[in-house]
Amino acid sequence: MKLSNNELVFEAEREIKLERESTLKIIKLFQEISARKIFLERGYPSFYEMVTKHFGYCAGSAMRRINAMKLVQEMPQFEEKIESGELSLSVAADVQTFLYQEAKIERPYSLNAKIELVETCIGKSRREVEEEFARRNPERDKRETQHVISHDRLRVSFSISKELSDKLNQLKDLLGHVDPSMTTETLLEKLAELGLEKYDPARKVERAKRRKMIASSAKAETLTEEESESTSAAEVKGSRYIRAEQRHAVHDDGAGCTFVSANGQRCGAKRFLQRDHIRPFAEGGANEATNLRWMCGQHNRARSTRVP
């Protein structure tokens, strides 16, 4: 069947209308799933994890839907604007993110001010909306953002002063003989390495040991008192750290939160882990490694299914 040009455009318009309607439906379903914290029983540490891993949205699509969800949760009067396409999902999410960032730097908007901002943004492009944000907060272009783009890459974005840019370029020139096509990433890598060598306590211990070895091999027993003192101080620091680790020993398979859902989904969150007693402390469970496991804060608090 061959459609005429007009029919093709008409068909596309019809499907796009349906797509917007179902986007809004999905957002409303998300509201309820998030409110009931269903992600926890399904083995995810956050609603975001469930939206990406269970529902299969990519990071960007997930964030757009979740942020738009939060926006219409607070201001349901804008649901129909999303459905009609006057307020795009991206713009709604950008506004929500902006309001969140403003609140975080103690410039919270009242509900009326929020509504006024959304109304200002209706029918605008993302670029125009970004200009609106910059007018409201000129400091905004100094903020720093990070996005995960793959398992081992991040996209970091921030603006820098002309002065810092000049310094970085000067460094690139100075190091140019080592690597003429040095990127900013390579330069930062070098600077981070230099900084860690100077400030990382673990490396200080290593350095002290190396110094000790060199000193003892060079001039057998003439190690100065000062040197041997600083070495032992650093070593004590190191061993105290290990002792603290032993004190909190928890059975650890290195795979993060141990919560497993009924259908076998392991949470695996690696941040903000808390010690959880397999046999509860109140029931006489011991405070030792065999009775302890890691759980993320969310699962530790809301534990509804126990891991056998």
Of residues 17-76, which lie at the interface with Zn ion (CB under 5 A)? 45
Task: Print the SS3 string covering 290-307.
Answer: HHEEEEEHHHHHHCCCCC
Binding Zn ion (rule: CB under 5 A), the pick from 92, 257, 273, 292 is 257
Among residues 216, 218, 246, 245, which one has the least CA distance to residue 231?
216
Rounded CA-CA distance 305/258 in Å is 11
Q: How far is the CB of 302 from Zn ion (least distance, A)?
A: 9
CB atoms inside a 10 Å sphere around CB 8: 11
Q: Which is nearer to Zn ion, 24 or 62 (CB)?
A: 62
Which of 90, 108, 91 has its CA nearest to residue 99? 108
Distance of CA 90 to the CA centre of its chain: 19
For Zn ion, the closer of residues 219 and 270 by Cβ is 270
Q: Does 299 bind Zn ion (CB under 5 A)?
A: yes
C-beta closer to Zn ion: residue 6 or 263? 263
Residue 267 lies near Zn ion (rule: CB under 5 A): yes
Which residues pair with residue 277 across a beta bridge?
A: 292
296 interacts with Zn ion by CB under 5 A: yes
Instruction: Indicate the burial class of 37 (C-beta count within 10 angstroms; 0-12, 13-18, 19 or more).
Output: middle
| Residue 205 lies near Zn ion (rule: CB under 5 A) | no
- Say how many residues touch Zn ion, by CB under 5 A: 7
Smallest gap, in angstroms, from Cβ of residue 259 to Zn ion? 4
Please tell me whether residue 273 binds Zn ion under the rule CB under 5 A.
no
Binding site for Zn ion (CB under 5 A): 45, 257, 259, 267, 269, 296, 299
